[in-house]
Amino acid sequence: MSATIPSALLPLLERPLFGALGTIRPDETVQVNPMWFEYDGEHVRFTHTNKRGKFRNLQRNPSMSLMVIDDENPQSYLEVRGSLVEVIEDPEGEFYVRLGRRYGTADQQPPPDKADRVVLVMSVEKVNGR
């Protein structure tokens, strides 16, 4: 099931804003971290590695939530809830480079941990915001 992003809030996913990504730890507490992301019109995509806690969290429990706050109007926000639907290997760090450029680093290079890089693909199942 895919939810529709309200047109008034869609710019929050189109602009290069940092998002707060929440996942569920093994002890059932929430882990929230700032993340670069890209919305492709259907899914939200993140760059990450397969060596960190967030990746392990998602392997155990694929539930995830993204919160984006408008930097020009902090009363405006978008929350997207969904699940990890795909993990795409990115051993050259190409998606990391693409996101780095989206976020303003024109000469972004692949990270040192590029061999461990993956693209996390999140479904959009519930949307909330104003």
pLDDT tens sequence across 95-130: 999 999 999 999 999 999 999 999 999 999 999 999
Reduced to 3 states (helix: H, G, I; strand: E, B; else coil), residue 11 is: helix
pLDDT tens-digit series, residues 81-90:
999 999 999 9
Distance CA 19, CA 70 (A): 10
How far is the CA of 60 from the CAs of 19, 63, 110, 116, in angstroms?
A: 22, 9, 28, 19
Contact 15, 76 (CB under 8 A): no
**Is residue 98 situated within a structural domain?**
yes
**pTM of this prediction?**
0.95
**Is residue 53 situated within a structural domain?**
yes
Contact 80, 121 (CB under 8 A): no
**Is residue 86 situated within a structural domain?**
yes
**Is residue 112 situated within a structural domain?**
yes
Domain interval for residue 103: 10-129
Q: In total, how many domains does the chain have?
A: 1
Looking up residue 99, the CATH number of its domain turns out to be 2.30.110.10
**Is residue 5 situated within a structural domain?**
no
Q: What is the mean pLDDT of residues 24-36?
A: 97
